[in-house]
Amino acid sequence: MSDIFPKWTNKLPAYLIVGGALVGSAVVAGAWYYFTPKYTRVGYQPIQPVSYSHYTHVEQLGMDCRYCHTGVEKSYHSNIPAASTCMNCHNQVLKDDPRLELVRESAATGKPIPWVWIHKTPDYVYFNHSVHVNRGISCFHCHGQINKMDEVQHAQPLSMTFCLDCHRNPAAFIRPVEQVYNLNWQPDSATKQLADGKKLVAQWKVQSLENCSTCHR
């Protein structure tokens, strides 16, 4: 009887098992590593129309976040300031600088500056800034050390598990309300954070909300 299957086919099942396992685990590993906001969103740093530096304004000049983001304590949306806010100082500082051309034009005509939106949650997420900042969740927790960024970059994944990590255990993150806008503040230690956090959670009756409708309406 002649060979229907050549001799090398004896090794075929082994090849298929080893190859399949390799390719399969590579695909799983790739999806795990790449199909997450930790990869797709973190590090997003678009070129903005005006090269505004948070480092200069916050870290060097010591300005408070709320000088510009006036709505953050009152509204679900933390607003980009009107160009007139920039002109409070820039009608004198860097008065004729070409980098501020768009700001001057916007202040004079009302034409919006086309800032690129970086921290963009999905449209079915109803995140409320005011309720977080008024109860000890700092800008830092979601936006990172904006005060150290010359150009803003997406610092945290802002994925659903990112929100839930804190919603499940707020005591590990909540901080004294007077330190919310101090992006350099660090708890003395993790144990102290947890102890103080527990006190604040009890004092403010912070609920560990994990219901779908907390964020999705």
Return the number of the residue (44 or 204) whose C-beta is nearest other proteins. Answer: 44
Neighbours of 71 (CB within 10 A): 15
Interface residue with other proteins among 9, 17, 20, 39 (CB under 8 A) is 39
SS3 of 3, please?
A: coil
Check binding of 99 to other proteins (CB under 8 A). Answer: no
Return the number of the residue (61 or 202) whose C-beta is nearest other proteins. Answer: 61
Check binding of 48 to other proteins (CB under 8 A). Answer: no
To the nearest whole angstrom, how small is the minimum distance from the Cβ of residue 122 to other proteins?
A: 4
- Using alpha carbons, list the distances in angstroms from residue 162 to 124, 165, 166, 178: 16, 5, 7, 24
Name the segment binding other proteins (CB under 8 A); options: 27-35, 132-140, 164-172, 200-208. Answer: 27-35
Residue 65 CA to residue 93 CA, distance in Å, equals 20
Check binding of 153 to other proteins (CB under 8 A). Answer: yes
- Nearest C-alpha neighbor of 166 from the set 189, 146, 136: 136
Return the number of the residue (137 or 180) whose C-beta is nearest other proteins. Answer: 180
Check binding of 41 to other proteins (CB under 8 A). Answer: yes
* HEC string for 75-108: CCCCCCCCHHHHHHHHCCCCCCCHHHHHHHHHHH
Check binding of 28 to other proteins (CB under 8 A). Answer: no
Contact between residue 57 and residue 63 where contact means Cβ atoms under 8 Å apart: yes
Check binding of 127 to other proteins (CB under 8 A). Answer: no
- Nearest C-alpha neighbor of 62 from the set 154, 135, 147, 174: 147
Name the segment binding other proteins (CB under 8 A); options: 85-93, 128-136, 159-167, 195-203. Answer: 85-93
Check binding of 38 to other proteins (CB under 8 A). Answer: yes
